[in-house]
Amino acid sequence: MKYNRILLKLSGEALMGDRQYGIDPKRLAEYAAEIKQLHDKGVQIAIVIGGGNIFRGVAGASNGMDRVQGDYMGMMATVINAMALQGALEDTGMQTRLQTALKIEAIAEPYIKRRAVRHLEKNRIVIFGAGTGNPYFTTDTAAVLRGIEVDCDVILKGTRVDGVYDSDPEKNPNAVKYDNITFDDVLTKGLNIMDTTAFTLSQENKLPIIVFDMNKPGNLLKVCEGATVGTTVNI
Ligand code: UDP
């Protein structure tokens, strides 16, 4: 295996499957099966999940809601997704722990770095919920932050597209995909991979990001084996 400890970032929208809102149990089960393939190979797995399928703070703010209130609602949405994913992972027999940045004692451990690392060492899957615990941040930033804190080898950003292109492949049929690209080139070419806070944090801490299609069966495992799948962003 090329990577021994990974941070998998899934967007909330990924959990919708073909639905317009919420969580598709079929999609959850598919993701759990993909993650199990990796777990069976002994890869240590941490996961951060978004909340966009349920609530986004900016969407609330655009309807007149207080932004900070909306962001906390968004963080709670990530906890709902995290619990759904936790259930699906445990259905396949894997051991998991949910740690949240906001304390919700009845359902999750509080985020404690040392404890998270210990869980990973015991091959438990650790899901980090409630983002960073702060409004005005995203779950991409939470993913990079936790990835650095618990010493992951790489951030795996599972998306619907198979990598980073020089222009939008849905609009330009001649768009070219990068297998590898540097952080600096992403910035100079104005490509959009993560929000600036998350991206800069990753760059400054030399933590590579791989953008790949999570909906293609076997991809997650291939990425960890070091196959050229998706786009790797590195220094
Ligand atoms: N959020 C936040 N702080 C964080 C992470 C998330 O305030 O550290 C809120 C924010 O309102 C965001 C929502 O939670 O819109 C859902 O997260 P995100 O948009 O990152 O989810 P994704 O796009 O990955 O589904």
- Find the Cα–Cα–Cα–Cα dihedral 87, 36, 207, 71, rounded to 10°: -20
- The answer to pTM > 0.75 is yes
- Atom 3 in ligand 1: which residue has the minimum CA distance? 137
Distance 71 CA to ligand 1 centre (A): 7
pLDDT at 170: 84
Per the CB < 8 A criterion, the answer to whether 77 and 147 are in contact is no
Low pLDDT (below 70) residues in the chain: none
Alpha helices (H) along the chain: 25-40, 57-62, 67-91, 113-121, 139-149, 183-188, 196-204, 219-225
139 known ligand binder? yes
- Domains identified in the chain and CATH numbers: 5-234 (3.40.1160.10)
Tokens of 26: 């079929």
Pocket of ligand 1 (CB under 6 A): 11-13, 50-52, 56-58, 70-71, 74-75, 77-78, 131-132, 134-135, 137-139, 142
Record the tokens describing residue 46, joined without a space: 């941490």
- The string of pLDDT tens digits covering residues 161-203 is 899 999 988 899 999 999 999 999 999 999 999 999 999 999 9
Backbone angles phi, psi at 122, to 5 degrees: -90, 15
> CA-to-CA distance for 5 and 155, rounded, in angstroms?
10
Q: What pLDDT sits at residue 201? A: 98
Ligand 1 center from residue 67 Cα (angstroms): 12
122 Cβ contact partners less than 8 Å away, ≥ 6 residues apart: 95
